[in-house]
Amino acid sequence: MRQRVFAAGVLALGVVLVTDVLRVWLPGIITIFGQAASTPAELMGAFALGWFVLALAAPPLIRRVGARPVTIGAAVLLAAARFALTATPGGRPQLWLATTGLLAGLVWFAGTAATNDRPVPGLALGLAVGAAGHAVLDTYDLVWWGRWEAWVAGGVLAGLFLVGHAPRPAPPGAAGVRAWFLAGPALLLAGMVALSPALARTATSYLQGEAGVAVSPVLGSLPLPVAVAGFLAVALAVAPRRFPAAVARVRWLGGPLALLAGAVLLALDRGSLLLPALLLSALGLGACLALTAAEPPGADLSAAGPSGIDPAAAPADRRAASRRAYAATAGMLVFAVAAVAYYSAYDLGYPNGWVPVAVAALVAAVALAAGRADVPPARAAGPAHPEVRVPLPPVRTTAAVTVLALLAPVVADDVPVTSNREGPPSHLTVVAYNIRMGFGLDGRLDPDALADLVSRRTPDVVLLSEVDRGWLLNGGHDTLDLLADRLHMAYVFAPAADPLWGDAVLSRWPVTAPRTLPLPAVGAPTGAQALAVTLDLGDGVRPVVVSTHLQPPPGRQPVVQARAVADFARRYAAGRPLVVAGDMNTEPGDAAFAEFTRAGLVDALATARPLPTSPADRPREQIDHVFVTPGVTASHAVAPGGTASDHLPVAVTLTLPPT
């Protein structure tokens, strides 16, 4: 039993390391290898899938060389890559180092599978600890910090992981194939919904309506510990209990049904459904893993053959180890195929809600097949076969990880309380910025650089485009919260592509009456919207701000969307001072640009033209704009230089008309 506890701990550490590498590698596909919306999605998808297909060569290598040397070699490479990522300056070195770590992690999964026939406790613990740690870090990975704390934590994690491979593993039995196959799908569902700290915080921001509003750290962080506790408690209850037949059947069916329900709620793309999607998915995923953990009848639980795939081992031992290794690599291939299929839809324009539902259905089917033996006959009161001992104490393990997750609100920054006690300001400084999900031209997540570039103008209002609040493809970060914390500003968020990706308004002044308008797609694959809010500046001064990001149809101007935004903004403003800003994907003189001036709006950046904003390193396109109503005076329009995104921000000082 002590060996199995040790093996579960090492597996958990490995899951955390692989997850860390994926959070760097996945966004690197679109920010370093390619450029979203310009590099073909098919090419980026082929690059991503190729490494997972290459990992299918690991089981034959393990059969020829032996599981232990392959596992140790892959572990060293994985730990080294994860540790070195802290020092990479971004760019191609970061991408290839992360790719090395990913491939090493996939090979390590296969080697570990060959020697571990009870992976569920370690897999569950790794997923739960990874999620809890990400919550404590405010979804900002240590990899990106670049400070001594990151080096120390990364070194300790990598060192413990490597030291854990010193003892020889316990002789494996013949089971574990189904559990290892579910490792990849479980990693996907945990990162997308079930154990995502960013999604948990975003879900709470939608509790007040269709727009996401900044909430307190305690409220925003509370769903994640609940999800972690439910997931881990259910996942570690792997042994069938002596329940009546009816209760056993509920246990058998309840988990898969809960997982499917959570995936369906996620697929509906509604912010108000994110919270139940999170909780149901967490419970269902944990229950499905638990169902695959119990040994099937007749399994040899006391097999004493050599660990791993050894030419001298008995044929049955070699076949079982080989099946587990292939199952682990096949499961990770499912992860890759599903991730590519889901996120490529935002470039190619097909429906993608079926992807998490299909993965959940696959997990449910495997779990139901594995757990069928645990369901006693209709009139029986006992289990179908003896209980299986769990290497990790469920209650104490769940409590410890939950306490870790509960630390998130303790270390989180407070949401600023805006105030208008000093009366209306004489000027209003507005910044509009397409932040590319928080990733700079070097492919590194750097909210500090974004905040520094914005704060130089001392803005009163910031309008953001391409805001990511938890996409697994981008590492599962809540970029909006990270930036709002650093600017000490409250926010309102509006979904565009889905509830986790869209536009936002940050303000130093109270914001009221948020309204969102989904814009016509007109052939563009990524969704677009307009977010209107009212600023309460005091003394009855209540200007209107509208944030948008126009998505042009292929080869054409976003004329239809521009007209819809201009009409919506004028109706919402109802004669009050109005500011409309964002990434418009149109230049002065173009037909879409003319829709705003035709609606009676004025180009607030006109005196500074030409004012190119894209690409950030060599700006030549004027596609980020600020429009105002007549009577609002604009001055000091600039586009500060920087490469924290692929766009430059535009900033302008506005003087409101006297009331």
Residue-range domains of the chain with CATH: 2-410 (1.20.1250), 415-655 (3.60.10.10)
Instruction: List the Cα angle 332/326/341 in 5-degree steps.
Output: 30
The pLDDT of residue 312? 47
Q: Which of 133-142, 176-185, 240-249 has the lowest mean pLDDT?
A: 240-249
Q: How many CB atoms lie within 10 A of CB 449?
A: 17
The pLDDT of residue 499? 96
The pLDDT of residue 342? 96
C-beta separation of 159 from 152 below 8 A: no
For residue 11, give the 3-state DSSP assignment.
Answer: helix
Strands 578-583 and 544-549: parallel
Q: How many CB atoms lie within 10 A of CB 624?
A: 27
Q: What is the mean pLDDT of the chain?
A: 89
Q: Label residue 630 left, alpha or beta by phi (over 0 means left) and psi (-120 to 50 means alpha).
A: beta
pLDDT digits (tens, 9 = 90+) for 431-482: 999 999 999 999 999 999 999 999 999 999 999 999 999 999 999 999 999 9
Q: Which of 120-129, 211-220, 225-234, 426-435 has the lowest mean pLDDT?
A: 211-220
pLDDT digits (tens, 9 = 90+) for 308-326: 444 445 555 678 889 999 9
Residue 409 pLDDT greater than 80, yes or no: no
At 228, give phi and psi (nearest 5°). Answer: -65, -45
C-beta separation of 286 from 232 below 8 A: yes
d(C-alpha 271, C-alpha 467), whole Å: 15
Model confidence at 305, pLDDT cuts 50, 70, 90, reads: very low
pLDDT digits (tens, 9 = 90+) for 564-618: 999 999 999 999 999 999 999 999 999 999 999 999 999 999 999 999 999 999 9
The pLDDT of residue 39? 82
pLDDT digits (tens, 9 = 90+) for 90-111: 999 999 999 999 999 999 999 9
In the predicted model, what is the mean pLDDT of residues 488-497? 94
d(C-alpha 87, C-alpha 144), whole Å: 9
d(C-alpha 491, C-alpha 468), whole Å: 14
In the predicted model, what is the mean pLDDT of residues 282-300? 77
Nearest to 98 by CA among 48, 156, 46: 48
Percentage of the chain exceeding pLDDT 90: 71
At 627, give phi and psi (nearest 5°). Answer: -115, 145
Q: How many CB atoms lie within 10 A of CB 267?
A: 21
| Alpha carbon distance, N-terminus to C-terminus of the chain | 77
C-beta separation of 288 from 364 below 8 A: yes
Per DSSP, the residues of 16-84 read HHHHHHHHHHHHHIIIII--TTTS-HHHHHHHHHHHHHHGGGHHHHHHHH-HHHHHHHHHHHHHHHHHH
The pLDDT of residue 425? 83
For residue 277, give the 3-state DSSP assignment.
Answer: helix
The pLDDT of residue 337? 97
Q: How many CB atoms lie within 10 A of CB 630?
A: 11
Please list the helix, strand and coil fractions of the chain in percent, rounded to the nearest 5, in that order: 55, 15, 35
In the predicted model, what is the mean pLDDT of residues 13-31? 96
d(C-alpha 339, C-alpha 189), whole Å: 10
Residues contacting residue 367 through CB under 8 Å, at least 6 positions apart = 178, 182, 255, 256, 287, 288, 289, 291, 292
The pLDDT of residue 246? 63
The pLDDT of residue 370? 87
C-beta separation of 450 from 468 below 8 A: no
For residue 287, give the 3-state DSSP assignment.
Answer: helix
Distance of CA 643 to CAs 181, 342, 463, 616, Å? 41, 29, 18, 6
The pLDDT of residue 356? 97
C-beta separation of 470 from 202 below 8 A: yes
- pLDDT, greater one: 402 or 413: 402
